[in-house]
Chain A
C-alpha cells in the first residue's frame, strides 16, 4: 500500500524528467509519498530509491535531514506554533501553553484520536503578523489563545476541510509542463556550447 500508486508514479516520472540528474527529484518524490500516505513509510522510501536510481539508505539519509518529513504517523492536522523572536515578543509562549492544555499533549505529541499533532516551529516568515501558526502549512495570523480554541474546534468539526487538506498534501496546484512547450532537461555532460541566444545578436 505504501509504495506510490500508479497515478503518483506517473507524476513521479514527470517530475524526474525535469531534472538533468534524477536524484534532484528525491525531495519532491518524498513529498509526493507523504501526500499519499500522510507520512514517509519505509516502503515508499524504497520505491523512491528505485525511481531515482539511488539506494534506500540514500533516500533516508537525505529525507531525515528535513523537518517536514515524518517517519511515523502524525495527526491529520499538524499545528506548528512559531516561537522565534517576533512571535515570542508578542505571545507565542502563551499560545503554546493554551494548545498544550487544550490538546493535552506536549510539542511533538499527537492526540489519542489521531487528529492533532502539536509542534514548536521556528520562524515561518510572517513576523509582522505575530504570533502566527500553521496548520498543515496553512497560516493563521495574529492569533490569540481564544482564537486558537476556536480553530481547534473548527478543525475537529471538519469545518475547514476545504481549505486545509490532511497532513502531507502541500500545494493543491501542481506544475505541469506541456510536452510541446518544454525545452527538456539535458545531462550537463551532453552540453558544451553556449545557448543560441548568446551570439551577440538580439533574440527577437
Chain B
C-alpha cells in the first residue's frame, strides 16, 4: 500500500524498503508503547550482547554514509578517535536548516525512540560516555516529542545507568539551539554546545573526533544517520548493503519541494533512484506542476550547484553526481519549472547565506552581503553590466578558480566537477555563491536581459501565470 499520513505532514510511503520511516504509518509512532510493539529497543539489546568492537565493525561493514551533507561513512568516523583518550562524547546534529531539507525534523517528531536507540548503539560501539542531542531551537514539537520520549526511556531503563541491566551506562542530554544555520557545521555545533557563539573552528584538526567538545574526542552524527542503526543492528550489515549500491547502501530520505505536483518526503533506495524517477514517477512527485517543463533543480540543498534537465538521469549516487558538477548534500531537492524567474530564485538562496554568515571569515561576511546586494539590484532592474562582473569577482574571492557547475547541451558547456576551493573555514561562504554561479553560468541570457532591457520587473519568484 502507498499512502500519505496526516500526522506526518509531507511524508509519502510506497512499495519500497523502509529502514527509518517504518513506523510513520502509526498515529502514535512517537510513543514508547508503539516503539516496543514494533521491534523497539531490540537493536540495542542485540548490540549489548556482543562486544562493542563487533558492533563497530558491523556498522563499518555496512558503510552507513553520513546523511547530514558531507556523506562521510559513520563507522569510519567513529574510528578516527585517538587511541586511549577519554572521555569521548557523542553530539547529535539535529540542527537541520539547510534550505530544502526536511527529514530530521520528521524523524525526531515521528520516531524519537528510534533516534534514542541509535544514539545508544553509537555510544556503545565507539565508547562514548555522554550524548548531547542538539535540536534546532525553532522546532518546538520535535523538542517536546524527544523530551517526552527521553523521559519515558529513562523511566523504563533504556537510558541512563546500567541500561537493560547491563554494564553499559550513558546519559542522553537534550539541548536546544537558538536559531543559527551555521551551527549545523560540526565544530560550530560544538562551540554552541559549550555556550559560545556558534562559529566554526579553525581547521586542522579536520575532525572533532580528534579534538571536539571540551577538547575531547567527539563524534558528531546526523539524526538520520543514527536513526539507521537500530535496523542495521537488528538485520545485520549484509541485509543493509543488499539495499542500494555498494558505495551508497541502504535507503535515504529525500525532500522534493518547489514546482512539482506532489512535493514530499520520500524514503528512496540509495544509489539507484534517479532524479527523473523522483520528479516524474507515479509513486514520487508525479510530474511538474501544470504539465510544464522542468527548467532547473537544486539536487542537494541550497548549497549545491544547480542541475538542468540534462542531468535528470543521474542516480542518487555521490560518485556520479560529484563529477557532474554538484553534490547530494542533505537530500534536499528544489525544483523550478519553466516559468521561474532565475535571478529572483537565486536571490532567495543567496540572501539566506548572507543572512546566516557568522561573520568569522571576511570573504563570507563581506562577500555574502555584496552578492546579496548586487543581486537584489539586478533583480530590481537597476543592474548594469559591471554588476555581473562584480558578482563573479566577489564569488571568486570566496572560491578561487573554476566553480563547479553542470554541463549544458544548450549552451555547449561541459561540467566542472565538485568540489570547489575556498578561502573560508566552512561552507557558508561558498554556498552564498553557488546559486549565483549556477544561475549566471546556466542562464546568462536572463541576467543580460535584466541589465540591458530593464523590462518587466517581476515582483516575486512564483512564476506560473
Does B462 lie within 8 Å of A91, measured CB to CB?
yes
Does B97 lie within 8 Å of A183, measured CB to CB?
no
Shortest CB distance B260–A (Å):
9
Contacts of B194 in A (CB 8 A): 21, 23-24
Does A198 lie within 8 Å of B52, measured CB to CB?
yes
Q: A18-B173, A68-B138, A128-B265 are in contact. Are A175 and B87 (CB under 8 A)?
A: no
Complex Cα distance, B190 from A94, in Å, reads 38
What are some 6 contacts across the A-B interface (CB < 8 A)? Answer: A85-B302, A91-B462, A94-B460, A183-B161, A188-B216, A204-B48
B59: Cβ under 8 A from any A Cβ: no
Contacts of B358 in A (CB 8 A): 65
Q: A85-B348, A128-B263, A128-B265 are in contact. Are A66 and B137 (CB under 8 A)?
A: yes
Which residue of the partner chain A has the closest CB to B337? A89
Beyond known contacts A185-B130, A204-B167: 11 more, CB 8 A cutoff: A18-B173, A27-B176, A62-B196, A85-B334, A88-B348, A125-B97, A126-B102, A141-B9, A181-B159, A183-B170, A197-B124
Specify which of A63, A126, A175, A184 is in contact with B150 (CB 8 Å cutoff): A175
Specify which of A19, A21, A181, A195 is in contact with B86 (CB 8 Å cutoff): A195
Does B129 lie within 8 Å of A195, measured CB to CB?
yes
Does A28 lie within 8 Å of B460, measured CB to CB?
no
Does B160 lie within 8 Å of A182, measured CB to CB?
yes
Q: Which of A176-204 contact B (CB under 8 A)?
A: 176-178, 180-186, 188, 191-198, 200-204
Specify which of A67, A93, A182 is in contact with B460 (CB 8 Å cutoff): A93
Q: A85-B349, A194-B86 are in contact. Are A171 and B178 (CB under 8 A)?
A: no
Which residue of the partner chain A has the closest CB to B463? A89
B-side interface residues, number (CB < 8 Å): 99
User: Interface of B with A (CB < 8 Å)?
Assistant: 9-10, 45, 48-53, 84, 86-87, 96-102, 104-105, 124, 127, 129-130, 136-141, 143-144, 147-148, 150-151, 154-155, 157, 159-161, 164-171, 173-181, 192-199, 214-216, 255-259, 263-265, 298, 302, 332, 334, 336, 340, 344-345, 348-349, 351-352, 355-356, 358, 459-463
Does B105 lie within 8 Å of A125, measured CB to CB?
yes
A74: Cβ under 8 A from any B Cβ: no
Does A66 lie within 8 Å of B334, measured CB to CB?
no
The 10 closest A-B pairs by CB, nearest first: A66-B178, A26-B195, A67-B179, A181-B160, A23-B195, A171-B143, A127-B257, A86-B257, A68-B179, A204-B48
Does A191 lie within 8 Å of B87, measured CB to CB?
yes
Which residue of the partner chain B has the closest CB to A165? B140
Which residue of the partner chain A has the closest CB to B335? A89
Complex Cα distance, B256 from A92, in Å, reads 17
Specify which of B157, B170, B462 is in contact with A93 (CB 8 Å cutoff): B462
Shortest CB distance A93–B (Å):
4
Does B460 lie within 8 Å of A137, measured CB to CB?
no
Contacts of A123 in B (CB 8 A): 97-101, 181, 302, 352
Q: Which of A56-95 contact B (CB under 8 A)?
A: 61-63, 65-69, 80, 83-86, 88-94
Contacts of B197 in A (CB 8 A): 61-62, 65
Contacts of B124 in A (CB 8 A): 197, 203
Does B171 lie within 8 Å of A18, measured CB to CB?
yes
Contacts of B263 in A (CB 8 A): 86, 127-130
A155: Cβ under 8 A from any B Cβ: no
Contacts of B216 in A (CB 8 A): 188
Complex Cα distance, B196 from A54, in Å, reads 11
Contacts of B345 in A (CB 8 A): 85, 88-89
Does B355 lie within 8 Å of A94, measured CB to CB?
no
Specify which of B102, B138, B144, B180 is in contact with A127 (CB 8 Å cutoff): B102
Does B127 lie within 8 Å of A128, measured CB to CB?
no
Complex Cα distance, B168 from A138, in Å, reads 37
Does A125 lie within 8 Å of B195, measured CB to CB?
no
Q: Which of A89-132 contact B (CB under 8 A)?
A: 89-94, 122-130
Complex Cα distance, B216 from A125, in Å, reads 31
Which residue of the partner chain A has the closest CB to B123? A195
Does A89 lie within 8 Å of B154, measured CB to CB?
no
Contacts of B355 in A (CB 8 A): 122
Contacts of A188 in B (CB 8 A): 87, 214-216
Specify which of B51, B264, B462 is in contact with A128 (CB 8 Å cutoff): B264
Contacts of A89 in B (CB 8 A): 257-259, 334, 336, 340, 345, 348, 461-463
Complex Cα distance, B195 from A26, in Å, reads 5
Complex Cα distance, B400 from A192, in Å, reads 44
Does A197 lie within 8 Å of B167, measured CB to CB?
yes
Q: A174-B147, A191-B129 are in contact. Are A203 and B171 (CB under 8 A)?
A: no
Shortest CB distance A74–B (Å):
14
Shortest CB distance A191–B (Å):
5
Does B155 lie within 8 Å of A195, measured CB to CB?
no
Does B144 lie within 8 Å of A25, measured CB to CB?
no
Does A65 lie within 8 Å of B151, measured CB to CB?
no
Complex Cα distance, B263 from A201, in Å, reads 48
Contacts of A31 in B (CB 8 A): 137, 176, 178
Specify which of B9, B151, B258 is in contact with A175 (CB 8 Å cutoff): B151
Contacts of A174 in B (CB 8 A): 147
Complex Cα distance, B166 from A61, in Å, reads 43
Does A191 lie within 8 Å of B86, measured CB to CB?
yes
Contacts of A20 in B (CB 8 A): 87, 130, 214
Contacts of B127 in A (CB 8 A): 194-195, 197-198
